[in-house]
Amino acid sequence: MIKVIMGLKGSGKTKQLINDIQQAVATEAGDIVCIEYGKKLTYDVNYKVRLVDSEEYGIKNVDMLKGLISGLHAGNFDITHIFIDNLYKTIGHNHDFGEEFIAWAAKFCEVNNMKLTISVSDDPANASETIKQYL
């Protein structure tokens, strides 16, 4: 299952993501990972959540993010939910790459029985059909 939280800057995306993370911690039995751009969520999420700073690992494009997620899963099959804060900052501001990543992630999550929640800083009116199905 994939969920996309999309909105312009200041629309409450990160607050919604944090609420979703806290709900996942309370209800899911597996491990939870949050990939963030910069270390800004450290004090906002539960200590049980594994925070990964994409900047720290040099993640700059879609292929690197796919590799990170694949590696996280390969190292821990107990991951049930991955959260990504601000996808476009992590992979660069390219809508085509965002769509490519979301299509790949949908297949990856289905095969590996995982959930993925992504925040995207963009106007929901600009969302493609690929992204709209996950809003």
In which order are the strands placed within the sheet that holds 2-7? 2-7, 115-121, 79-84, 31-36, 50-53
What average pLDDT does the structure give for the chain?
A: 90
Question: What CATH number has the domain bearing residue 48?
Answer: 3.40.50.300
pLDDT tens, 64-112?
Answer: 999 999 999 999 999 999 999 988 888 876 666 678 888 899 999 999 9
Q: Which domain holds residue 68?
A: 2-132
Q: What's phi and psi for 70, nearest 5 deg?
A: -60, -40
Domain count, the chain: 1
